[in-house]
Amino acid sequence: MADDTISTKELIKEENLVYKKSKILTDNEFHYCPGCGHTTTHRIIAEIIEEMDIQSKTIGIAPVGCSVFMYNYMDIDMQEAAHGRAPALATAIKRLLPEKYVFTYQGDGDLAAIGTAETIHACNRGENITMIFINNGIYGMTGGQMAPTTLVGMKSSTTPYGREVSLMGNPIKMTDIVVNLPGTYFVSRQSVHTPGNVRKTKKAIRKAFEYQALNKGTCFVEVVSNCPSGWKMTPVESNKWMAENMLPFYPLGDLKVPEE
């Protein structure tokens, strides 16, 4: 044993802690599949709420989809929306409680298919809310059907031979659409497949929360994510596949940043 290794006894001392579970996360076990990006993104949001000390001012809206039970994991007030309607709930809550921080959390089917109208109009009105968009290119909860963001050629249970443009159209880049709406204030696309990307995502989501205090418009962060179960891959394979296939089509970075 080398001299610089730290004993378990030392390791658990408070001053040696480098990471701990956010107080905003409940003790409920995540139901997500191993390696799923939802878990990391939940943790990021919880940490931001804790670090900004806004638990008593935050109201979250859960979607229909894999993250339908988000309210089981976050120790904050939350509402569970109908499929696609989270931005409508958030619109009303923020307008009725303008001093609160209101955020939505939606998957690709929720935000970019059934909820397209609510997404576009909330962003177009410049609702002063934070919208988190998890894009893993598949319907996870219902068992791996095609999403609006499924890549061309990508297999799903409703595109068993791969998504064919002539039949199913092209994948939709919702973030590139909302960036063009004057109501959006901050728009970013990030991922959580490497520690470095997790840090970048946290930075982006933190900004998306902080900007609510400015009352300048909608803050929208897409998190390109994996779906090991839906894609029928191991977590490691799915992250590799995501980096090689999803990211070229959904490139990461800030799409709209406020002028300083």
Partner 1 sequence: MEEYVLMKGNEAIAEAAIRAGTDGYFGYPITPQSEVIEYLAAAKPHERTGMVMLQAESEVAAINMLYGGAGAGKKVMTSSSSPGISLMQEGISYIAGSELPCLLVNVVRGGPGLGTIQPSQSDYFQATKGGGHGDYNLIVLAPASVQEMADFVSLGYDLAFKYRNPAMILSDGAIGQMMEKVKFKPQQPRSKKSPDWATTGKTPDRERNIITSLDLDPARQERFNEKLQAKYKEIREKEVRYEKIQCDDAEYLFVAYGTSSRICQKSMQMAREEGIKVGLLRPITLWPFPYNEIRMMSGQLKGILSVEMSAGQMIEDVKLAVEGKVKVKHYGRMGGIIPTPDEIVKNLKQKIIGG
Q: What is the dihedral of CA 144, 82, 252, 219, to 10 degrees?
A: 180
Taking CB under 8 A as the rule, which mask of x and - marks residues 92-121 in contact with partner 1? xx-xxx--x----------------xx--x
Of 45, 46, 61, 112, the one binding partner 1 (CB under 8 A) is 61
228, containing H or E segment: helix 228-231
Read off the DSSP letter of residue 150.
P
Place of tokens 């929208």: 220
Q: Which is nearer to partner 1, 47 or 191 (CB)?
A: 47
Binding status of residue 178 toward partner 1 by CB under 8 A:
no
Q: How far is CA 38 from CA 21, 77, 118, 159, 222, in A?
A: 16, 19, 22, 24, 12
Q: How far is CA 101 from CA 26, 50, 80, 82, 130, in A?
A: 20, 13, 16, 20, 8
Of 45, 48, 59, 205, the one binding partner 1 (CB under 8 A) is 59
Binding status of residue 179 toward partner 1 by CB under 8 A:
no
Question: Nearest distance from residue 233's CB to partner 1, in Å?
Answer: 27
Q: Which is nearer to partner 1, 81 or 204 (CB)?
A: 81
Q: Which is nearer to partner 1, 83 or 256 (CB)?
A: 83
- Of the candidate spans 8-16, 52-60, 156-164, 198-206, the one that interacts with partner 1 by CB under 8 A turns out to be 52-60
Of 126, 135, 150, the residue nearest 63 (C-alpha): 135
Provide the 10 A C-beta neighbour count for residue 23: 12
Binding status of residue 6 toward partner 1 by CB under 8 A:
no
Of 49, 41, 114, 51, the residue nearest 78 (C-alpha): 49
Binding status of residue 85 toward partner 1 by CB under 8 A:
yes
The number of helices, as runs of H, and strands, as runs of E, in the chain is 11, 9
181: Cβ contacts below 8 Å, ≥ 6 apart? 120, 123, 124
Of 91, 130, 201, 238, the one binding partner 1 (CB under 8 A) is 91
Question: Nearest distance from residue 23's CB to partner 1, in Å?
Answer: 11
Of 45, 46, 66, 76, the one binding partner 1 (CB under 8 A) is 76
The rounded distance, in Å, linking the Cα atoms of 123 and 180 is 10
Question: Nearest distance from residue 166's CB to partner 1, in Å?
Answer: 30
Question: Nearest distance from residue 94's CB to partner 1, in Å?
Answer: 9
Of 55, 145, 158, 245, the one binding partner 1 (CB under 8 A) is 55
* Pair of tokens at residue 256: 């709209």
The rounded distance, in Å, linking the Cα atoms of 60 and 103 is 5
- Of the candidate spans 60-68, 145-153, 216-224, 241-249, the one that interacts with partner 1 by CB under 8 A turns out to be 60-68
Binding site for partner 1 (CB under 8 A): 55-59, 61-62, 68-69, 71, 74-82, 85, 88-93, 95-97, 100, 117-118, 121
